[in-house]
Amino acid sequence: MDNLGSRLKEMRLKADLTLRELARQADVSPSFVSQIENGKSQPSVATLYTFSRLLGVSVDELFVDVAPAAMPLVEGWGPDGDKNPTNAWHPSEYSNRVSVVHPSHRSHLDMADGVVWERLAATPEHGVTFMKIVYAPGATSTAGGDLVSHDGYEYGYVLQGVLEVTVGGEVFTLRVGESLGFDSTIPHVLRNVGDGEFTGVWFVHGRRH
């Protein structure tokens, strides 16, 4: 789970919350929080947002950075003529403001019901999550398919499969090439209603950051 459990525990301790208190505020059982922190269970997307709100961190901060592996050099860029874009900006004044991520280096979060988030890029800006999302057939963003809300706006683009998005009282069915954006404070839920895996590019911008 890319150390999600240990990351959650680290954030909980920084927030000076006991396991039982976090569970109480999140309206889940202490044993469930314990299982997540020990890597034995996976939260739903909605539960992850709840933890993020209660711990006072952005969802993006729950991703754990993956150490980049050595990459082949190509003439042209970088101090040694390296044309690889991951090295083109380093060392330079832009090194903290540019994020280039190779597919093998992406941080990811595995959640309940076959939902996976892969972070596509990350800059120091808080409250912004740019990612590829994958939903197994029948998977939803909330356990049981209940509508939930959170701070910010969401924007999505479908790469593969069919996604049903309920926002308030409206239901949208998105297919390959289609996209949407909506205010995340409106109760909503995402569901893969296709026969195969759903894949999309998602951008979430938190309002409170």
Number of Cβ atoms within 10 Å of the Cβ of 27: 8
Report the range out of 65-69, 112-116, 153-157 with the highest average pLDDT. 153-157
Cβ pair 208, 156 in contact under 8 A: no
Residue where a domain terminates, one of 52, 83, 104 = 104
**In the prediction, which pLDDT does 70 show?**
38
| Residues with Cβ within 8 Å of residue 209, at least 6 apart in sequence | 58, 125, 126, 127, 128
**What is the spatial distance between Cα 202 and Cα 134, in angstroms, rounded to a whole number?**
10
Using alpha carbons, list the distances in angstroms from residue 64 to 1, 101, 106, 120, 164: 10, 14, 9, 13, 29
74 and 174 housed in the same domain: no
Least confident of 11-20, 87-96, 156-165, 195-204: 87-96
117 and 15 housed in the same domain: yes
**What is the spatial distance between Cα 47 and Cα 62, in angstroms, rounded to a whole number?**
13
Domain that holds residue 93: 67-104
Residue where a domain terminates, one of 54, 86, 104 = 104
| Residues with Cβ within 8 Å of residue 133, at least 6 apart in sequence | 115, 116, 117, 118, 156, 198, 199, 200, 201, 202
- Is residue 175 scored above 50 in pLDDT? yes
176 and 120 housed in the same domain: yes
172 and 119 housed in the same domain: yes
12 and 87 housed in the same domain: no
Report the range out of 39-43, 47-51, 131-135, 139-143 with the highest average pLDDT. 131-135
Q: pLDDT tens for residues 79-123?
A: 444 444 444 444 445 556 777 878 877 888 888 889 998 888 876
- Is residue 1 scored above 50 in pLDDT? no
CATH number of the CATH domain containing 17 = 2.60.120.10
Query: Which among 85, 83, 79 has a CA at the least distance from the CA of 99?
Result: 85
117 and 200 housed in the same domain: yes
- Average pLDDT of the residues of the chain: 81
Q: What SS3 class is residue 11?
A: helix
Residue where a domain terminates, one of 46, 81, 104 = 104
50 and 114 housed in the same domain: yes
**In the prediction, which pLDDT does 64 show?**
59
Q: pLDDT tens for residues 124-152?
A: 666 778 899 999 999 999 877 789 888 88
- Is residue 49 scored above 80 in pLDDT? yes
